[in-house]
Structure 1
């Protein structure tokens, strides 16, 4: 934040258009146009006056999409490779996430977990509220996985996955499942979408229906797609991606879902 903005913040906040520009939403002039056009909301109320002052903690959205005014927050997407444990400091000395986050000044942590043999999309951030919403199954944020499994999966088996299978820690059903194709004579590629956060749940579901997993990749987490990000690569979320995540987080928080869960697929 600039010295001028800092002086304003010490008073009664910073002008909305200034914080929007500092957050990278648009230039100050364009931000002013957005405000005057009634496209900006602060804490759920449409704001049209240019003199409105806000704090970084106020909830601001443009065209219904949330924006982050607090520039100290960081949001990253990692394509976690196989063999990396989802920990910032593994107490058993195994390869962990520290190698990917050591270049950043912020103290980052992973949102949920992927087991060491599962690769794919992992979010890293220093935003605890967002992390809680994304990781907790009660908020219903969907994750999509691509699994190569042993055997030829039948449509009837897909039906079992979506109807529900019984595991040692209780029944579980996929939100969606489909066959993508065959990988040779005795292997099948399937796509599974679910919001559960139970430990190794995708592997255990597929094993329960007779198709042990050979390879597992998380391709999607809520509105985020892995895209062409290569294994081991990490990048900041785009403004559009971050806006989608923040909107989910704020909507879910206002709905008042319950708390406390972990995830490890």
Structure 2
């Protein structure tokens, strides 16, 4: 994905807000259009407005700190939490459970209320958008416990993709890990990740999902991270996985 070219005028405010962790770039454009953003005390009307170092930006009257370095975290989401900052139904959220010293974070994609496992979090909305891009070709891998009669041929057929109630789902790799009575553990891998995709596809096969755990998102693994724990991804690893150049080091004075 091509990045915006640097400008002597600064950085576009939508991208600046995304890097500051206020929202994704797309959502930043929405709050700009709603008139909630000011630059130097003046309302911002265009997402192409530039922010220079030292400029004061506010959202809903609150100052926004300048973006810090991009950080990425692995979080082991427990079931029973919604992946949103505010829930109109008053359900507990992922972000309420995080250590406050981490500051404001946003999620890379989502896991629904009853799903668990690996959730990537970042302080950089532009990075979140980049990690979500289908062009990455990153596989999301899950362990799924289902109840019902599992047919291996039906699972294998998912590799050709499937259409359910008019919605087309891209190829899915699914296989049986173990089976005990009417319960089975499956490994499921997909690249697309539409809303509630695995649950809908399994229901289409006559299977009820009783547990769904994401164990990998592209190169990032859940591993042995305890439930509810959060751990920062090493910046070097992040750079390597995204093909970014390391920050330039100052040459030691001779």
Q: TM-score range, shorter-chain basis?
A: 0.5 to 0.7
Task: State the shift of 1:200 in Å.
Answer: 0.3
Q: Residue 177 of structure 2 aligns with which residue?
A: 180
**Secondary structure class of the residue paired with 2:101:** coil
Task: State the shift of 1:138 in Å.
Answer: 4.0
Query: 1:73 and 1:137 mapped to 2: Cα distance?
Result: 21
Query: 1:208 and 1:138 mapped to 2: Cα distance?
Result: 27
Task: State the shift of 1:195 in Å.
Answer: 1.3
1:136–1:197 contact (8 Å) kept in structure 2? no
Task: State the shift of 1:169 in Å.
Answer: 4.3
Q: Residue 231 of structure 2 aligns with which residue?
A: 235
Is 2:136 the partner of 1:139? Answer: yes
TM-score, normalised via structure 1 length: 0.62
Alignment of 1:55-94 (within 5 A): 72-94=69-91
RMSD of equivalent CA atoms: 2.1
Query: 1:102 and 1:224 mapped to 2: Cα distance?
Result: 21
**Secondary structure class of the residue paired with 2:100:** coil
Task: State the shift of 1:219 in Å.
Answer: 0.4
Aligned counterpart for 2:115 among listed residues 113, 118, 124:
118
Q: Residue 213 of structure 2 aligns with which residue?
A: 217
Relative to structure 1, the CA distance from residue 98 to residue 71 in structure 2 (aligned partners, 3 Å threshold; closer, same or farther) is closer
**Secondary structure class of the residue paired with 1:104:** helix
More helix, by proportion = 1
Query: 1:101 and 1:164 mapped to 2: Cα distance?
Result: 37
1:150–1:187 contact (8 Å) kept in structure 2? yes
Aligned counterpart for 1:170 among listed residues 155, 162, 167:
167
Q: Residue 196 of structure 1 aligns with which residue?
A: 192
Query: 2:233 and 2:166 mapped to 1: Cα distance?
Result: 35
Task: State the shift of 1:71 in Å.
Answer: 6.0
Is 2:156 the partner of 1:159? Answer: yes
Query: 1:195 and 1:75 mapped to 2: Cα distance?
Result: 20
Is 2:105 the partner of 1:100? Answer: no
Is 2:126 the partner of 1:129? Answer: yes
Query: 1:105 and 1:220 mapped to 2: Cα distance?
Result: 22
> Residues 7-53 of structure 1, C-alpha deviation per residue, up to 9 Å, x if partnerless?
xxxxxxxxxxxxxxxxxxxxxxxxxxxxxxxxxxxxxxxxxxxxxxx
Task: State the shift of 1:172 in Å.
Answer: 1.3
Task: State the shift of 1:97 in Å.
Answer: 1.7
Task: State the shift of 1:155 in Å.
Answer: 1.9
**Secondary structure class of the residue paired with 2:189:** strand
Unaligned 5+ runs, structure 1:
1-69, 252-265
Query: 1:240 and 1:131 mapped to 2: Cα distance?
Result: 17
